[in-house]
């Protein structure tokens, strides 16, 4: 039979072991052992781009000259200057295509406009290839309206056997940040 002193001693030892185990468990997950670091966070939302056609490209009327010849180039620059080869006569109102792009201020906008095929409206089997002249990019100088206008020019090569008629095509212009 145990005496009350021995029982008290045994209880004290068990209590000390439990306290030591509890202290060790707390020490393992102690915040004193954790590490923290801060990182900056930033976000720069930009407006979606809006592209609008302002005007169509028009090379005017091109009259083919007499004789046999090839590679007569008719071109209109982005600024609207028309160049006509000696084998053809150019008349009528001409203009480059014009577009407007809107987005976020001080953002550079890349422009993509691949060459296109013009189809003779009187004979769809007859085509011309237009070599497109577009700016590589524009800088937006405001946010939203009024945006920035840019022009697209191009050139076609004709020869003495080019079929008469109106040749029509459609630009595939893409803009992105």
DSSP conformation letters of 85-138: -TTEEEES--B-EEEEEE--TT-EEEEE---EEEEESS-TT-EEEEEEE--SEE
Say what the pLDDT of residue 43 is.
Answer: 94
Over range 70-82, report the average pLDDT.
97
Rounded distance between C-alpha atoms, residue 75 and residue 176, angstroms: 27
In terms of residues, how long is the chain?
A: 177
Say what the pLDDT of residue 156 is.
Answer: 98
Distances (CA, A) of 33 to 23, 91, 154: 15, 85, 69
Rounded distance between C-alpha atoms, residue 139 and residue 147, angstroms: 10
Say what the pLDDT of residue 32 is.
Answer: 79
Say what the pLDDT of residue 10 is.
Answer: 59
Give residue 150's pLDDT band: very low, low, confident or very high (50, 70, 90): very high
Say what the pLDDT of residue 162 is.
Answer: 96
Question: pLDDT per residue over 88-140, tens digit each?
Answer: 999 999 999 999 999 999 999 999 999 999 999 999 999 999 999 999 999 99
Among 1-10, 99-108, 151-160, the minimum mean pLDDT is found in 1-10
Say what the pLDDT of residue 1 is.
Answer: 52
Is the separation of the CB atoms in 138 and 100 below 8 Å? no
**Rama region for 7: left / alpha / beta (φ>0; ψ in -120 to 50; rest):** alpha
Distance in Å from the first CA to the final CA of the chain: 90
The pTM assigned to this predicted structure is: 0.75
- Sequence spans of domains, the chain: 50-176
Say what the pLDDT of residue 138 is.
Answer: 98
Say what the pLDDT of residue 128 is.
Answer: 97
Rounded distance between C-alpha atoms, residue 8 and residue 15, angstroms: 10
Count helices and strands (H / E) in the chain: 1, 13
Cis peptide before 39 (omega within 30 of 0): no
Question: pLDDT per residue over 20-70, tens digit each?
Answer: 555 555 555 556 789 999 999 999 999 999 999 999 999 999 999 999 999
């Amino acid at each position: 039979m145990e005496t009350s002193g021995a029982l008290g001693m045994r209880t004290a030892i068990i209590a000390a072991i439990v306290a030591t185990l509890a202290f060790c468990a707390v020490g393992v997950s102690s915040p004193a052992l954790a590490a923290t670091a801060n990182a900056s966070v930033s976000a720069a939302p930009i407006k979606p781009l809006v592209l609008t056609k302002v005007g169509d490209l028009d090379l005017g009327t091109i009259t083919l000259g007499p004789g046999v010849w090839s590679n007569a180039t008719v071109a209109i620059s982005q600024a609207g200057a028309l160049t006509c080869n000696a084998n053809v006569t150019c008349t009528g109102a001409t203009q480059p295509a014009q577009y407007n792009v809107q987005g976020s201020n001080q953002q550079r906008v890349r422009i993509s406009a691949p060459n296109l095929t013009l189809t003779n409206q009187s004979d769809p089997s007859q085509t011309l290839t237009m070599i497109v002249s577009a700016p590589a990019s524009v800088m937006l100088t405001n946010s939203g309206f009024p945006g920035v206008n840019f022009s697209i020019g191009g050139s076609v090569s004709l020869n003495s056997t080019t079929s008469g008629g109106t040749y029509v095509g459609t630009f595939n212009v893409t803009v992105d940040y």
